[in-house]
Amino acid sequence: MASSIGGIACDMVKGIAPGQKTRGETWQVPGISGYGAATLGAGDSETAFTCIRYAASAVLDAWEASIEALQYTIVTVVNDRGKTYTRFLVRKVAVPRREPAQPYGEKSYVQVQGVIC
């Protein structure tokens, strides 16, 4: 199965996203006993995926720029296990890390954080 994020091919995409669950809000009012509570919509699905690519340095420059351009867009993620996550809002793209990877040239890691909408 080909791993990808936002249609950008990766050699590996590591991570899984939890499902959404009901959220709640509680509050207190001075001088009144007890708590107030309200049920909110489903959410709390924050997660991070690590995208990995093996290639020559020039190819990695373009690949990293493509991943960084996904910030604040909604994408589809396919991880290493073939699990597909749709409606993933990319909130943050971390600074890429590179290291030598023989015989491929270099290996780049980019962490992408976000939530399932």
**Residue at 100 is within a domain:** yes
Is position 97 within any domain?
yes
Report the C-alpha gap between 23 and 25 in whole angstroms.
Answer: 7
Q: Between 103 and 112, whose confidence is greater?
A: 112
Whether residue 21 has pLDDT greater than 80? no
The pLDDT of residue 74 is above 90: yes
**Would residue 20 count as lying in a domain?**
no
Give SS3 for 17: coil
Give 93's pLDDT tier (boundaries 50, 70, 90): very high
pLDDT in tens, 98-111: 999 887 789 999 99
Which residues 6+ apart lie within 8 Å of 33 measured at CB?
none
Mean pLDDT (whole number) for 65-94: 95
DSSP state of 24: E
Given a cut of 80, whether residue 96 has pLDDT beyond it is yes
Assess contact for 47 and 18: CB atoms under 8 A.
yes
Considering the domain boundaries, does residue 53 fall inside one? yes
- Which residue segment(s) compose the domain that 55 sits in? 1-15+46-110
Report in angstroms the alpha-carbon separations of 10 from 29, 50, 110: 51, 10, 10
Report how many domains make up the chain.
Answer: 1
- Enter the pTM of the model: 0.80
